[in-house]
Amino acid sequence: MLIAPLLVACGGAEVSTPTHAPAPASGSSAAGVVPTAPRQPPTVEEARAQLDRAIARGSAGDHAGAWDLLVPEDQALIPRTDYVAYQQACNADAPQGAPYEIVDIRLEDPNTALAIVKVLGVSLPVHAFYRDGQWLTRLSDTNRTGVTAWTATRTCPTTTP
């Protein structure tokens, strides 16, 4: 049973730094500028909602939509259309619509969330990373290896039990 496509977000730990708007140039006039409230720090609730979206997209077979929620480093590994082709070819027997549950989630630091997601009775760690004002997911090590092989050879990686 393949559950990797359902959990495109599984994988490694990394820390990112949030981006901030540049400070206005000195001597610039504040006239006519409407002040905006500073962005609140990312929350665990936002991370949970994003992970729910990413996993639901993969589970429903919306692989293009799941690719849209990947960190840029993973998007750089494989173009969107190739990612869809990879998922359709290499994970065709994965159960679509399998029920999943985000059992627990916590912030490891202000920009990294770790969730425990249960799919088909298996609990797996899933990371989300806060980048440029939004939470994004990362491919699992298995999916990262798979997309690398697919990009190079257009063949599905084999696994040994």
d(CA 64, CA 71): 14
**Residue-range domain boundaries for the chain:** 4-12+42-153
For residue 129, give the nearest of 74, 63, 61 by alpha carbon. 74
CATH of 4-12+42-153, one of 3.40.640.10, 3.10.450.100, 3.90.76.10, 2.40.50.100: 3.10.450.100
Q: Is the pTM of this model over 0.75?
A: no
pLDDT tens-digit profile, the chain (161 residues)? 344 444 544 443 333 333 333 344 444 445 566 666 667 789 999 999 999 999 999 989 999 999 999 999 999 999 999 999 999 998 877 778 888 999 999 999 999 999 999 988 999 999 999 999 999 999 988 889 999 999 999 998 875 44
